[in-house]
Amino acid sequence: MIEKVATNSDLKFPMFACFDQIGNLYVAQSSGGDLYDELQKQSRGCRISLLTAQDDSGAFDRGKVFAEHLVFPMGLAWRDGKLYVADPPDLITLEDTDGDGRADKRTVILSGFGHRDNGSLHGLTFGPDGWLYMTMGSPDGYRFQRADGSILSGTTGALLRCRPDGSDIEVISRGFENLVEVAFMPGGEIVGTDNWFLMPTAGVRDGLVHLLEGGAYPLGTDQGSAKLTTGELLPAIAMYPAVALSGLARFRGDGFGPDSKDALFSAQHNTRKIVKHRLEPLGATFRSVDQDFVTTDDPDFHPSDVLQDADGSLLIIDTGSWYIHHCPTGRIRKTTAKGGIYRVRKNARPRPQDPWGRKLNWASLSTRQLIEQLADQRIAVRDQSVQMLIAKGEMAVDPLTQLLRTARSEDVKEEIGWTLARIGTTSSLLVLRDELKRARPISISRGARALARTGDKGAKSALEDLLQHEDLHVRLAAAEALAHCGDQSSVPALAQALTSQLDKFLEHALIHALYRLAAQDQLAALLQQKAPRVQKAAMILLDQEPHNKLAAEAAVARLFDREEILRSTARFILQRHPESVSQIVPTLRRIFTNHSTAELGSLREALLAFHSHPEISHLIAEAVSSQATDTSEALRIFLIGLMRQTTTEVPPEWVKALRAAFESGSTTIRAEVIQTTRSLRLRGLDDLLSALARESAKPVRV
């Protein structure tokens, strides 16, 4: 059943929404104007409404303006009596200190967010670790000054997080055009919606993305603070056409059937859909099994957000027909559609009593009673219990441990695991370490990520052992955790893990852990190991800050290695250092003079990567023109054919070389020159081709 549940006539152009702890709904509203212009001019024409319900019907029939004069609040989240709001260039909190339903206290907790277009600050959400997560797009960027005076800056879209007071801001992942919103999976993995994950290719553009710490993704070279590059860019879980992915929510419970539990629901602005994504393990990441959940032919319906209510229903925020930037379907016809809020619930499923726990006397509940609430079917009751148990600290650890040992529900175990991590005492961390011995991979993964957020060094040994676990998701979680819980003595275990079965996500996490832990002399030693992936990791890390100590010779020596992974890494590094490319020339001269058939593949890779470098361009021209007397005809044919595969402007000396080859070469070389001339549309050889065409003695085919 789908019904419209916001009856307040003043509500128009809603964008994103969140609940407080008792079920009041805060809705960020657009002014309906030009988003880009208002962001750049700081027009402050937007507001946030507070919607409430008089009864249990599910309809929000009361509304008032909670805050106004805002700069496009494209994200908001509630925690501890404060509404966290994106108000570019600021991240702010709003509080109602006198209880009149209107914010009267505004506090800036972080400033420095760019505000040029819809890539500005958005997607606020609190993670299970208690930190505030937020997203950015490109080209807006960010620039923050940390407490120690250092600068954190970037120009591509990114996932960031900070403490609730705005401190300790850090970048988790970057390389996005417009990362919109994230959700947290039961194992602690972070998944997000991203528009323009790639430039449109084969009909797809947008992506559902698994976000790893230190991860770099395909769009945008980040200018700003130095950040790790592990080599290959990470792919998406799933790719879509230009659907304009927006809000994202993980569904807790099975309110829409067993396969809805822990499924993700995304709002897709352009295609007027809410889509259900059921994630299944694929290596160390996921694949998505998708199903349209809500669709409509109404051209004025443009969902921007989706969130779960405490009663197990799903709320859809329809932003209306005002937004058209980058979204050609944002206004199909001339209309003043103001949007609205819709509720989706399963037919005949009874609404739980007091879903927000308003009737509970929270202040009188004992620690034991709060722990019992963790098994409650009402998600809002569980969430409130978690917050209160964290405040109780050490006194909650023993009863939480007892329930963790006996609970059958994975939901209960998830609540307890993160609660213990946020309590963060010695005894609570001991319990989490014990979770690493559990049989279920999801429990182990969650425990590892929870420990990672505490930086628990006592978990180091157990995490190192998990790098050899048969489940790649567990190994990924262990690698992620060791980046925070390990030390230099963890380096051999991480290096050994690089020699096992890997995918891109696990390899990235292992290299990221080495980046955080390994000393320069350890990386130098890894460079001498036989395992190609270990050498790759050492090369990449030695080449970057804080080391910057990789000798060019180390990359050149691997440019023609038998292992493709080393060749591609060498090319990647040398492309970052064009000043070192000239060191390839002596090796190329040797191969030109005396090469095996097996070397031609790696030779092709190297020349295509560096052919535009002046010295290498000249070397190719010299060989093609046969100025070097020891150049074989086979190599000349190879190089002439390689010219056709280049994408840069053809240098004049290549044209001269082709002329020389045509005039002095065999029929086979001439044919190769003709084909290259045609492919590259070269005009410098017209006289030779015309003369050849007039030679009646030549075969008609020539």
What confidence tens digit (pLDDT) does each residue in 634-668 have? 889 999 999 998 877 888 999 999 999 888 778 88
What is the structure's pLDDT at 331? 66
> Quick one: average pLDDT of 608-624?
92
Residue 700 pLDDT class (50, 70, 90 cuts):
low
What is the structure's pLDDT at 384? 96
- Select the more confidently predicted residue: 700 or 586: 586
Residue 227 pLDDT class (50, 70, 90 cuts):
confident
> Quick one: average pLDDT of 139-161?
92
> Quick one: average pLDDT of 548-576?
93
What confidence tens digit (pLDDT) does each residue in 102-114 have? 999 999 999 999 9
Percentage of the chain beyond pLDDT 90 is 72
Residues of the chain within CATH 2.120.10.30 domain(s) are 103-344
Residue 438 pLDDT class (50, 70, 90 cuts):
confident
Q: Among 333-347, 549-563, 564-578, where is mean pLDDT lowest?
A: 333-347
> Quick one: average pLDDT of 211-226?
83
Question: What's the CA gap between 373 and 386, in Å, rounded?
Answer: 9
What is the structure's pLDDT at 333? 72
- Select the more confidently predicted residue: 323 or 235: 235
The conformation of residue 12, written as its DSSP 8-state character, comes to -
Residue 621 pLDDT class (50, 70, 90 cuts):
very high
What is the structure's pLDDT at 328? 63
* Predicted confidence (pLDDT) at residue 226 exceeds the cutoff of 90: no
> Quick one: average pLDDT of 213-225?
81
Query: Per residue in 618-641, is it b (16+ CB within 10 Å) or e — as a string?
Result: ebbbbbbbbeeeebeeebbbbbbe
Instruction: Assign 268 to helix, strand or coil.
Output: strand
What is the structure's pLDDT at 628? 59
What is the structure's pLDDT at 423? 97
What is the structure's pLDDT at 687? 86
> Quick one: average pLDDT of 285-303?
95
Total-model pTM: 0.93
DSSP 517-563: H--HHHHHHHTTSS-HHHHHHHHHHHTSTTT----HHHHHHTTT-SS
What is the structure's pLDDT at 680? 87
Residue 574 pLDDT class (50, 70, 90 cuts):
very high
* Predicted confidence (pLDDT) at residue 454 exceeds the cutoff of 80: yes
The conformation of residue 257, written as its DSSP 8-state character, comes to B
Q: Among 33-37, 508-512, 613-617, where is mean pLDDT lowest?
A: 33-37
What is the structure's pLDDT at 329? 67
Residue 116 pLDDT class (50, 70, 90 cuts):
confident
What is the structure's pLDDT at 283? 96
> Quick one: average pLDDT of 211-236?
84
Q: If you average pLDDT over every residue of the chain, what do you get?
A: 92
Residue 693 pLDDT class (50, 70, 90 cuts):
confident
Interacting residues of 446 by C-beta distance below 8 A, sequence separation 6+: 186, 187, 188, 413, 414, 417, 418, 435, 477
Classify strands 264-268 and 273-282 as parallel, antiparallel or unpaired. antiparallel
Cross-strand pairs, 204 = 201
What is the structure's pLDDT at 633? 86
Choosing among 2.120.10.30, 3.30.360.10, 3.60.15.10, 3.90.25.10, the CATH entry for 103-344 is 2.120.10.30
What is the structure's pLDDT at 312? 93
* Predicted confidence (pLDDT) at residue 508 exceeds the cutoff of 90: yes
Count the neighbouring beta carbons within 10 Å of the beta carbon of residue 162.
18
Cα→Cα distances 12→34, 519, 577, Å: 15, 56, 53
What is the structure's pLDDT at 229? 84
Q: Where are the beta strands (DSSP E) in 426-553?
A: none
Q: Among 389-393, 662-666, 698-702, where is mean pLDDT lowest?
A: 698-702
Q: Would you state the structure tokens that stand for residue 121, as one six-digit string?
A: 């600050």
Question: What's the CA gap between 581 and 24, in Å, rounded?
Answer: 62
Count the neighbouring beta carbons within 10 Å of the beta carbon of residue 56.
12
What confidence tens digit (pLDDT) does each residue in 129-149 have? 999 999 999 889 999 998 888
What is the structure's pLDDT at 169? 96
* Predicted confidence (pLDDT) at residue 327 exceeds the cutoff of 90: no
C-beta separation of 102 from 65 below 8 A: yes
* Predicted confidence (pLDDT) at residue 490 exceeds the cutoff of 90: yes
What is the structure's pLDDT at 337? 85
Residue 453 pLDDT class (50, 70, 90 cuts):
very high
**CA atoms within a 13 Å half-sphere pointing along the CA-CB vector of 662:** 22
Surface-to-core class of residue 330, CB atoms within 10 Å of its CB (0-12 exposed, 13-18 middle, 19+ buried): middle
Interacting residues of 123 by C-beta distance below 8 A, sequence separation 6+: 74, 75, 133, 134, 135, 179, 180, 181, 182, 192
What separation, in Å, do the N-terminal and C-terminal C-alpha atoms of the chain show? Answer: 73
> Quick one: average pLDDT of 94-98?
97
What confidence tens digit (pLDDT) does each residue in 39-58 have? 888 989 999 999 998 776 77
Q: Among 385-394, 409-418, 446-455, 628-637, where is mean pLDDT lowest?
A: 628-637
What is the structure's pLDDT at 627? 61
